[in-house]
Amino acid sequence: MDSTQRFRPAATIDWLRQCFLSAREFDAPAEEGIPHGPLRPAAVLVPIVLRQPEPTVLLTRRTDHLHHHPGQVSFPGGRVEEDDRSPIDTALRETEEEIRLLRRHVELLGCLPQYHTGTGFDVTPVVGVVTPPFELVLDEFEVAEVFEVPLSFLLDVSNHQRHRVEVRGRMREYYAMPYGRYFIWGATAGMIVSLQRFLDR
């Protein structure tokens, strides 16, 4: 399947389903600078929206006053709570709470490898397909805005930049994918790279 066919919505959902049905191990990116001690379990939803003329990935921008990752681009999600039955349940619950994307709109495909963040989280990325129409209501305390990026842009390795920054005396490398006025980087960009490697393996 060439890239033009692949990213038509009808072809994309069949392609994605097949990728997860035939899932096998692949080289996932590892986050650098993991702090010592136990990591806190968390989960995010990677929502692939079947837009016309091509699918997109839905992302949020966090509000500037939050303690963890203020102002950063992220997937909807958060830490695992005691009542959550699984990381999938966490991702769907947090998505409903943050942007009110109800779980009935999400077709679950599967999970990518867990991603360890420099802020001490062990994140399970849960991939799902979302079919419009749907309405979102943002939790104004946590989410400043929601936007969508073409899936083809995020899966194009030429858009995957590598940056370096010194954190607590150590150099740390991270992925970044600038898109318009948005700077997608860190754990979110790393999980997108993980999705790209999974689909292209």
Q: Residue 8: what pLDDT? A: 73
Q: Residue 86: what pLDDT? A: 96
Phi/psi of residue 144, each to 5°? -80, -40
CA–CA separation, 121 vs 114, rounded Å? 10
Q: Residue 66: what pLDDT? A: 65
Tokens of 47: 């929502």
Question: Strand, helix or coil at 41?
Answer: strand
Helices (H), ranges, the chain: 3-6, 9-21, 87-99, 151-155, 186-200
Q: Residue 22: what pLDDT? A: 86
Question: Strand, helix or coil at 94?
Answer: helix
Q: Residue 20: what pLDDT? A: 92
Q: Give the pTM.
A: 0.90
Q: Residue 168: what pLDDT? A: 62
Which stretches in the chain have pLDDT values below 50? 1-4
Phi/psi of residue 98, each to 5°? -80, -45
